[in-house]
Structure 1
Amino acid sequence: GDGTGVSICINHHHIHPTLCKLSQNCLSSLISTDYGKSFHDISHRINHTFIREEFGVSVGPGSSVILTADTPVVDNPGGIIFTSMDAGATFKFIQLPFHLAQPVTYHFFNPDYLVALSIDVSHSNIISMTTDLEGVTVVFFDTDERGDLVLKRTKDLGETFTTIHEDIYSFGYIGAFLFFSVMEEPRSPRVMYFSSDQGDTFSRALLPSASTEQFYSILDGDEDMLFMHVDNPGDTFFGTMYTSDDRGILFSKSLERHLFDGQRKSDFTNITSLRGVYLTNKLDLDGRIRSVISFNRGGTWKQLNKPDNVDCGEQVKSVRWCNLHIHGEHSRNNRIVPMLALSEPTAIGLVIAHGTVGDSLSSSQHPDVFVSSDGGYNWRGTLRGPHHYSILDSGGLIVAVEAQREGQVKTIKFSTDEGQCWKSYNFTEQPFFFAGLACEPGTKAMNVSVWGFRPEEDGQPMWVAVTIDFQSLITRECNDQDYEQWLAHSAEGGTSERKGCVLGVKETYRRLKRQSVCRNGRNFVVSKKQSSCLCTREDYLCDYGYYRHVNTSDCVRQPSAANKSLEMCLNGEEDELLTAGYRKVPSDRCEGGYNPQLAVQTVIRPCGVKPSPGPPDKSTSSVTHFDTLVIIVLVAVVSAVISVRRVVYSNS
């Protein structure tokens, strides 16, 4: 948790839990309250219980922690969790009537309530929610007689349920949207349904259907819109990316040939340090992978600029074909790079990533570290070779450790000017094999822990954690003279009126000057000034049934859409879309200026799927009512023959 200084370490020896329980000398649960500078054993607080290696630790909001235990006791009916509300200082023991199949998650409205998934065969035909488990409420999901997946909804903490839809293939939520995919007919392609009103109504999305050899993947989402990938048929490793309207119904094509590898991994990245910026890779017709970036939430995409301090190389025939290409999840899975692109909301404009310079992304070329200070418009080469890196002090400090495949590490590199200059610091006299770089979430701390292991004479590794506190190196607190006013999205020029206008807004930030060597401190808060821009044609998309004409850039009706009334639902109900062909880009806040002629507000009559009417399904357990809190939980009936891998939130 941000500001707690607490680290919890679970030591795992690969010994059967029963033997480990009997000896107790192979169990150790450790805690640090000083950012990893010292640890002490807390195994006695959890009765020396063997904590699971897989999803054994869950960290919630504030100072809440859950430890999930393996239970070797034969007569134990279920699993065990230990809950702490004070960052591990004390724990409460809770015996569960089932075994967990996935990590415990915290309810997003009230962290006192937990949601858990179980597919124990012994609990078939049961959907229940129990209370009085030391103040913790647990929801669990089990199978019905048919083995189908049924989506249900409760507003009263499990006392009653209403069925939303049967024969569900997958479901989940992201941002402000709930969604599920369904086969409406046996062996038919899947279609997507979305809800933007917490499940009161679901409407079918205007997206291509996905056959059994294809998939949907929701890449990102917030309260305004969604990014959706629809896979191409066959083993093509690419598909089409779409962006939605603010209801998750109308989707516009954003990027074709979007890369998605055989492991269903995407390189799509939200650059959180600057509004509206997204980065991904595409598979071009020539079979090469190239990086593209969008500064307006997927409205347009372009290749990344070549860094000024890096040459193209002799293999590139023309500078026109020389760009920076960023390694993503595809490269990390193939162990080409150790880390993905890194950005933080508190470090305005800062992006750190591995990449190569050339006509495409190269797996044979040595990946280097590149840094952008303006959200991805301009880049510079900063470190040779792959590294592990982290952002501290709200962007005022960057740290990096060189990735060694075989060798041991003892040196950390750090920069106070966004990667232009680096200094080295030997943090240990005895090098060790690197395992991880850990820092407190929120990027406000100035402590970082490097951890790994040294081989001992008996063959067992001795784990080591070294914490570096940069407050002893950077001692001066920043003052007003150390900051400057910076206009975001101003790197590409344009007229003075439009300079910096993205999604209808100009944003001017107060941020640290690059040459200032001082610390922002934990009390640093990102401050910005916003002003609206006049609308232009770039602030509008072509609505459903329209496309942008090549010669005029006007939105014209597609030949298949002969009338203004367009059927949008295929389940017997109809939606009417009244439009002149334009709709404003989601989250765009421009005012005045360009206004599409004859534009009519889009009117949608609710259609699609509503929770089933009539008597609700009763759960098997009673639940205490809360008059002041309305909680919505989606639950599902999961077949025992359906693996847990099928119920996922990202790939649908």
Structure 2
Amino acid sequence: MNWTLLVLGSVCLLVLGQDAFAHGKRNARTVTFSRAARGHGHSRHRRDTWTGPARFTACKSPLSPRDQALLLSHTHETVFQGDEGSSFTLTWVGDGTGVILVLSTLSAPSDSFYEGGSSRLYRSEDYGKSFHDVSNAIKNTFIKKDFGISAGPGNSQQVILTANLPFTETPGGVIFTSMDAGVTFRSVHLPFHPAQAIQFHYQEPKYLVAISNDDGLWLSEDFGNSWSKVHEGVHTFTWGSGITLFFSSSPKGTVEAARRGKLILRRTQDFGKTFTTIAKNIFSFRYIGGFLFTSVMEKLASPRVIYVSSDQGDRFQKAQLPSATTEQFYSILDGDEDMIFMHVDNPGDTHFGTIYTSDDRGILYSKSLERHLFSSEGKSDFTNVTSLRGVYFTNRLEEDGRIRSVISFDRGRRWSFLKKPENVNCPDSSKKCNLHIHGEHSHFIEITPMLPLSEPTAIGLVIAHGSVGDSISAVRPDVYVSGDGGYTWWGTLRGPHHYTILDSGGLIVAVEAHRDRQISSIKFSTDEGQCWKIFNFTSHPIFLAGLASEPGTKSMNISIFGYRPDDDDQPMWVAVTIDFEHLLTRECDEQDYVQWLAHSDYDSDPETDGCLLGYKETFRRLKKLSACRNGRGYVVSRQQQTCPCTRNDYMCEYGFYLHENTSECLLQPDFLNRTQYISLNGELDDLQNTGYRKIPGDKCEGGFSPPRREGKDILLASSKPHSVRPLGMLVLIVVCTCVGVIGLVITAALIITSRRINCRQRSPAYRFSALQLQDDDLSVSNDSRPDGKLNGFHVQEDSDDELIE
């Protein structure tokens, strides 16, 4: 995944790039800063009207003169020469190399007769402590501002710079490639002009793919030295598993074909030598978590439906979700090889919908959360807490217009309000007092500079902006920290901040976010935000653009980017790098760690305490009071133990809902007396014999087993479902060809006793007459990894390409 550091003008905000997810961690290679939008908000939704902020006590510890002097001796400032309107892009190269590339770009004014602009390239190999101008390595060529620099995945030291050349002057574009982290570059003339960033393969960075400005799909198997044209009229593409490449195309123009659902979905598994057409008449497609989703019009003028494949497009099944009109949309919030979180919009301009979770095939979906806040522009507050498995939080729109935060610790089976931090006093007028998190959709963009942050290596640690009360407040948010994955919270910093996690959670740094004044100090904490020390890093304050640290949280170096006006009131761009390794010099030993049982409430049965998704995990975690260094060699240590099954290991089956008072899965009223035809891979699947199914990925053994339904919940079969009295019975018609004999099962009452009945039919299909999909807009992250997991934020992009129509 890539971040781009783009510094523009005097007002800056952290913005996430194409494959970053705005709900969770910040583990990126390229960081982007851009001018913040103004006037953003949700005036249509009512919020708290109280004027006094929540009160909490925050611990601040003075930094000793010795430590101040020590940090100053390891603080390095670099001034980049820039002109008014110039932008800066910062990219980390490799893993643990300490190499940073900074691209300075000045574009010619749009009304100028001169096309192009100028670029400067700077390189650091000591984590930003010093930079050197290496523009001669690229012959001072003008590099694109929007997608001019890309770094290879993982430990790769490969870099691509894309030149910005007028189409009228050259038959093709020019790129500069480096295999040594930017020490040397090679100029390569392309047979096409790239229309977007050149994409690396997620495992083999020598494999490259690009779309040209005339919609051609191009591939390179030797890191850009040679290219072959794979196909024409390509609309979108994505890597699948291995070297599988999916792309949609149309010979008659991709824009119109996409709008009318006339695209063809093809697959190549040999770099374009051969193709397989796997779907026709599609609007768009996405690949995430091993699942391939397509939006298809089955026949002329019919509603568009969603199909899903879990085998790289060999076979598709219709996803079983509530119907949606053309004014609604579907959006994939998160996904992996076990389960998909899907948002289904409510009819009308409501700004909310329902979250559904899938089975492990991505086909059957169960209701998880109603009134989930989601904008028509693709903005959602859905956040995956990457530091603790199974944890998600988001915001819902209450019926009275208030926005309230909810959290799930069991992959969406049950949601609850966030607990009030212990050190925070509630506003006097709050009747219900909880913590509410400001996310991508609900936050006020002018005063919330960062989204919630968590890291897989910092177990249990979550940092987020929020407010305390009976709903999200319009006042300036404060910073809150959780050390146990969201079960409990601590009010830690007053007002908006930029923040990041270093040393695998052993160090947190934060800088106050101000639009109207300069800053000169940074705050840091070694105890998960319980106490903070303040370090004055400069005597010449700067306007802050943001923070940048090496991906993976292993580093103890932090770079602060910003600018200060010079004597002529022109901006001087400044990078200040602080090395905390020389302050925390002691390596942690065994006495600094403690065994910590995740998801424990300390009051449960010892046999089941900490059990989640069928097993418990005990981590070796750093003690909060241990001021030492985890170091680059730190590896998360965990022990797993299988748990006996309980009711909590099961979620409600498709067509059932979880009753709030009894915790029982009950049949949804609108599913009574619905005719259903069920067949999967030639086998009749009895889906609803209990009303429960095990949560995908759950590993429990023995223990609780859902009882089979009897009496009014018996599955019935009838040839005339409309004539059956509404006795709470689900009507089932079974029509299949078994062992060469065509049979029609018409029975007044039938208890299904076997899970599957073999049928000869081999065309897999789930067809539920009650759930005809009537819409298409399925928004998924454009993800270059086949498992759907990102090395950073997983983002809901605000673009037409992210919607399955």
When the two structures are superposed, what TM-score results if normalisation uses the length of structure 2? Answer: 0.71
Pick closer, same or farther for the CA change 1:258–1:603 going to 2, 3 Å.
Answer: farther
Question: Does the 8 Å contact 2:107/2:116 carry over to 1?
Answer: no
Which residue of structure 2 lines up, in the alignment, with residue 647 of structure 1?
801
Question: Does the 8 Å contact 2:679/2:685 carry over to 1?
Answer: no
| Pick aligned residue for 1:347 from 450, 458, 474 | 458
Whether 1:43 and 2:151 are equivalent positions in the alignment is: no
Secondary structure of 2:616 counterpart: strand
Which residue of structure 2 lines up, in the alignment, with residue 468 of structure 1?
578
Question: Does the 8 Å contact 2:116/2:142 carry over to 1?
Answer: no
- Partner amino acid, structure 2, of 1:49: T
Whether 1:67 and 2:175 are equivalent positions in the alignment is: no
**How far, CA to CA, are the matches of 1:267 and 1:551 in structure 2?**
27
| Pick aligned residue for 1:134 from 219, 225, 232 | 225
Whether 1:95 and 2:189 are equivalent positions in the alignment is: yes
Which residue of structure 2 lines up, in the alignment, with residue 326 of structure 1?
437
**How far, CA to CA, are the matches of 1:390 and 1:118 in structure 2?**
37
**How far, CA to CA, are the matches of 1:429 and 1:456 in structure 2?**
15
Which residue of structure 1 lines up, in the alignment, with residue 56 of structure 2?
none
**How far, CA to CA, are the matches of 2:541 and 2:113 in structure 1?**
30
Shift of 1:577: 2.2
**Which stretch of the first structure deviates more once superposed, 90-99 or 439-448?**
90-99
| Pick aligned residue for 1:145 from 252, 276, 294 | 252
Question: Does the 8 Å contact 1:568/1:574 carry over to 2?
Answer: no
Shift of 1:530: 0.3
Question: Does the 8 Å contact 1:316/1:359 carry over to 2?
Answer: yes
Unmatched runs of 5 consecutive residues or more in structure 2: 1-93, 234-249, 709-752, 767-784, 787-797
Question: Does the 8 Å contact 2:398/2:404 carry over to 1?
Answer: yes
**Which stretch of the first structure deviates more once superposed, 258-267 or 131-140?**
131-140
**How far, CA to CA, are the matches of 1:274 and 1:371 in structure 2?**
14
Shift of 1:149: 2.0
Shift of 1:60: 1.9
Whether 1:274 and 2:388 are equivalent positions in the alignment is: yes
Question: Does the 8 Å contact 1:170/1:646 carry over to 2?
Answer: no
Question: Does the 8 Å contact 1:183/1:190 carry over to 2?
Answer: yes
Which residue of structure 2 lines up, in the alignment, with residue 616 of structure 1?
none
Which residue of structure 2 lines up, in the alignment, with residue 79 of structure 1?
173
Question: Does the 8 Å contact 1:9/1:30 carry over to 2?
Answer: yes
Runs of 4+ in 1 over 6 A off after TM superposition: 17-24, 559-565, 602-605
**Which stretch of the first structure deviates more once superposed, 80-89 or 408-417?**
80-89
**How far, CA to CA, are the matches of 1:584 and 1:141 in structure 2?**
45
**How far, CA to CA, are the matches of 2:204 and 2:586 in structure 1?**
40
**How far, CA to CA, are the matches of 2:495 and 2:200 in structure 1?**
39
**How far, CA to CA, are the matches of 2:546 and 2:127 in structure 1?**
15
Secondary structure of 2:591 counterpart: helix
Q: Which has the higher contact order (CA 8 A, sep 6+)?
A: 2
- Partner amino acid, structure 2, of 1:586: P
Matches for 1:22-41 after TM superposition, within 5 Å: 26-41=118-133
For residues 231-277 of structure 1, give each alpha carbon's deviation from its aligned partner in whole angstroms, at most 9, with x where no partner exists: 11221111111111111101111111110124220001110000100
Shift of 1:118: 3.2
Question: Does the 8 Å contact 2:509/2:525 carry over to 1?
Answer: yes
Question: Does the 8 Å contact 1:374/1:491 carry over to 2?
Answer: no
Question: Does the 8 Å contact 2:555/2:632 carry over to 1?
Answer: yes
Secondary structure of 1:381 counterpart: strand
**How far, CA to CA, are the matches of 1:606 and 1:138 in structure 2?**
35
Whether 1:237 and 2:351 are equivalent positions in the alignment is: yes
Secondary structure of 2:137 counterpart: helix
Whether 1:590 and 2:682 are equivalent positions in the alignment is: no
**How far, CA to CA, are the matches of 1:101 and 1:22 in structure 2?**
18
Question: Does the 8 Å contact 2:565/2:571 carry over to 1?
Answer: yes
Whether 1:338 and 2:338 are equivalent positions in the alignment is: no
**How far, CA to CA, are the matches of 1:206 and 1:288 in structure 2?**
31
Pick closer, same or farther for the CA change 1:456–1:196 going to 2, 3 Å.
Answer: same
Secondary structure of 1:422 counterpart: strand
**Which stretch of the first structure deviates more once superposed, 15-24 or 100-109?**
15-24
Shift of 1:568: 4.9
Which residue of structure 2 lines up, in the alignment, with residue 13 of structure 1?
106
Which residue of structure 1 lines up, in the alignment, with residue 549 of structure 2?
439
Q: What is the count of residue pairs matched by the alignment?
A: 608
Matches for 1:424-503 after TM superposition, within 5 Å: 424-491=534-601, 493-503=603-613
Question: Does the 8 Å contact 2:283/2:295 carry over to 1?
Answer: yes
**How far, CA to CA, are the matches of 1:324 and 1:90 in structure 2?**
51
- Partner amino acid, structure 1, of 2:800: R
Which residue of structure 2 lines up, in the alignment, with residue 540 of structure 1?
650
**How far, CA to CA, are the matches of 2:587 and 2:271 in structure 1?**
49
Which residue of structure 1 lines up, in the alignment, with residue 19 of structure 2?
none
- Partner amino acid, structure 2, of 1:607: P
Question: Does the 8 Å contact 2:497/2:512 carry over to 1?
Answer: yes
Identity fraction in percent:
59
Secondary structure of 1:12 counterpart: strand
**How far, CA to CA, are the matches of 2:344 and 2:106 in structure 1?**
42
**How far, CA to CA, are the matches of 2:100 and 2:644 in structure 1?**
49
**Which stretch of the first structure deviates more once superposed, 301-310 or 153-162?**
153-162
For residues 404-460 of structure 1, give each alpha carbon's deviation from its aligned partner in whole angstroms, at most 9, with x where no partner exists: 111111100000000000000011111111111000000010000001111223443
Shift of 1:213: 1.8
**How far, CA to CA, are the matches of 1:602 and 1:248 in structure 2?**
19
Pick closer, same or farther for the CA change 1:450–1:151 going to 2, 3 Å.
Answer: same
Shift of 1:336: 3.1
- Partner amino acid, structure 2, of 1:144: P
Shift of 1:90: 2.1
Secondary structure of 2:136 counterpart: helix
**How far, CA to CA, are the matches of 2:324 and 2:423 in structure 1?**
45
Matches for 1:186-585 after TM superposition, within 5 Å: 186-317=300-431, 321-332=432-443, 334-363=445-474, 365-491=475-601, 493-548=603-658, 553-555=663-665, 566-568=676-678, 576-579=684-687, 580-581=689-690, 582-585=692-695
**How far, CA to CA, are the matches of 2:320 and 2:415 in structure 1?**
22
**How far, CA to CA, are the matches of 2:550 and 2:135 in structure 1?**
23
**How far, CA to CA, are the matches of 1:139 and 1:17 in structure 2?**
35
Pick closer, same or farther for the CA change 1:492–1:77 going to 2, 3 Å.
Answer: farther
Pick closer, same or farther for the CA change 1:175–1:385 going to 2, 3 Å.
Answer: same
When the two structures are superposed, what TM-score results if normalisation uses the length of structure 1? Answer: 0.87
Two-structure CA RMSD over aligned residues (Å):
2.9
Shift of 1:187: 4.6
**How far, CA to CA, are the matches of 2:381 and 2:230 in structure 1?**
34
**Which stretch of the first structure deviates more once superposed, 138-147 or 172-181?**
138-147
Matches for 1:166-205 after TM superposition, within 5 Å: 166-205=280-319
Shift of 1:58: 1.8
Secondary structure of 1:160 counterpart: coil
Question: Does the 8 Å contact 2:190/2:227 carry over to 1?
Answer: no
Whether 1:157 and 2:271 are equivalent positions in the alignment is: yes
Pick closer, same or farther for the CA change 1:564–1:262 going to 2, 3 Å.
Answer: closer
Question: Does the 8 Å contact 2:366/2:656 carry over to 1?
Answer: no
For residues 501-541 of structure 1, give each alpha carbon's deviation from its aligned partner in whole angstroms, at most 9, with x where no partner exists: 11111000001000000000000000000001100111112
Question: Does the 8 Å contact 2:352/2:396 carry over to 1?
Answer: yes
For residues 462-508 of structure 1, give each alpha carbon's deviation from its aligned partner in whole angstroms, at most 9, with x where no partner exists: 11100000011111111110000000001373222211111111000
**How far, CA to CA, are the matches of 1:22 and 1:239 in structure 2?**
47
**How far, CA to CA, are the matches of 1:442 and 1:99 in structure 2?**
34
- Partner amino acid, structure 2, of 1:305: K
Secondary structure of 1:314 counterpart: coil
